[in-house]
Amino acid sequence: MNFVVAGSFPRASTADKDAVIEVHEGSATGPQIHSHATMVRIRKDHRYLTDQERSNFLKALSRFHREQGGYERFVRVHELASMGKYQDPAIYFWPDLAHRGPAFLAWHRAYLLSFERELQKIDHSVALPYWRMDELPSVFEENFMGANVTSTAAFVEPTFTASNPLAHWSVNGEALYRFPHQRDDPQDLKSRFASDEKLFEEGIYAKFSRRLEGNPHNLGHNWTGPWMQNCMISPSDPVFWPFHTGFDRQWAKWQWIGGRVQPDGSGESYFPSDAYDDTAAGCNVATPNGCAAVGHHLKDTMWPWNSAVGPGATIKGNRPPADLSQDYLEPFPKASFDGLWPSQPAIPTPGT
């Protein structure tokens, strides 16, 4: 028979095989005829990770970068999705496929999930933690994502405990830097970053998505450091992952409290709920206007998982050229466990 394994919030699994399913004959007190140990992974507030959970996450992150060499691939995908907006249209322009449009949340949801599953190949127990930006964080501590001094310097290199797997973090040969801001004033954080309650006042998807992308997303990038401030390299800073997982949490909660999980986009689940149309007004200019770019409509496939490259019929239908992106084009990988999405390699859309 089909059944669901769940837990009482916030009592989640903390280690692989710590959730045991028992089958009893006849009733709960009848003879035990089978048992199966598994794990119910969830994404947790980074402040409430156990020491072991935090250690597992940091070790997997470090190993994926330093031993397997897979981290910089994710940095490059984010860069290519974003960099078209900096190109001169007379040479070759493509719209931002991950930001500045309705699919901002959907694109990053797929991106985060693909990264999370790479970490889970290293350690099955790992799930991405999230950072609630309007609350006092522990993410900026020496035993987590690195601490920084408060000074008048333009930027500083964060410090880590000697045992932290992220110590001496660098990407493409460059050491990590952040802004020397004070990060331990709860009142400053509450006044600076939009809370769940403030964001959830908006029940229209287009307005909710734009509001979230502006604050806390854009504001948080610009507050954290020079790497995070630059969307071309922002995933290079490991704090990017709990940072963006926080926005995926906010979208999921907004969807849940309003019943806004409709594949057809109805009930304000998503907008626009059609597919990109090259003949629509305003789609042949690079400047922002009422034409949502390709990849941002509910029924559009999303780059790079769609392997689509090159010019479209209109400017906002362009995608990165093949010579830049050919090494990063592949469908979203099949899930490693039955019952998880996708059952086969897939090409996600905002609607899926």
Average pLDDT over residues 216-229: 98
Tell me the CA distances in angstroms from 112 to 109, 116, 139, 243, 322, one per residue in order. Answer: 5, 6, 18, 11, 24
Average pLDDT over residues 219-242: 97
Q: Is 232 exposed, middle or buried (0-12, 13-18, 19+ CB in 10 A)?
A: middle
pLDDT band for 4, please (50, 70, 90 cuts).
Answer: confident
CATH 3.40.50.12780 describes domain 46-328: no
d(CA 93, CA 326): 17
Place of tokens 């460059």: 174
Q: Which pLDDT value is given to residue 41?
A: 86
- Residue 122's φ and ψ, nearest 5 degrees, are -85, -40
Beta-bridged to residue 24, according to DSSP, are 32
**Token pair recorded at residue 53:** 């959970």
Q: Which pLDDT value is given to residue 142?
A: 98
Read off the pLDDT of residues 263-289 as tens digits, 9 standing for 90 and up: 999 999 999 999 999 999 999 999 989
Output the pTM of the full model.
0.95
Average pLDDT over residues 322-338: 94
pLDDT band for 5, please (50, 70, 90 cuts).
Answer: confident
Asked if pLDDT for residue 7 goes beyond 80, the answer is: no
Read off the pLDDT of residues 50-102 as tens digits, 9 standing for 90 and up: 999 999 999 999 999 999 999 999 999 999 999 999 987 767 899 999 999 99
Contacts of residue 185, Cβ cutoff 8 Å, sequence gap at least 6: none
Q: Which pLDDT value is given to residue 319?
A: 96
Asked if pLDDT for residue 9 goes beyond 80, the answer is: no
Average pLDDT over residues 159-163: 97
pLDDT band for 1, please (50, 70, 90 cuts).
Answer: confident
pLDDT band for 39, please (50, 70, 90 cuts).
Answer: confident
26: left (phi over 0), alpha (psi -120 to 50) or beta: left
Q: Which pLDDT value is given to residue 197?
A: 97
What residue ranges do the domains of the chain occupy?
Answer: 1-40, 46-328
Asked if pLDDT for residue 3 goes beyond 90, the answer is: no
**Token pair recorded at residue 172:** 């493409």
**What percent of the chain has pLDDT above 90?**
89
Q: Which pLDDT value is given to residue 40?
A: 83
d(CA 202, CA 73): 35
Beta strands in the chain, from DSSP E residues, in sequence order: 19-24, 32-38, 170-171, 174-175
pLDDT band for 12, please (50, 70, 90 cuts).
Answer: confident
**Token pair recorded at residue 114:** 């693909």
Contacts of residue 217, Cβ cutoff 8 Å, sequence gap at least 6: 104, 247
Query: ∠45-79-236 over CA atoms, to 5°?
Result: 45
d(CA 337, CA 352): 19
pLDDT band for 134, please (50, 70, 90 cuts).
Answer: very high
| CB 90 within 8 Å of CB 314 | no
Asked if pLDDT for residue 174 goes beyond 90, the answer is: yes
Q: Which pLDDT value is given to residue 57?
A: 98
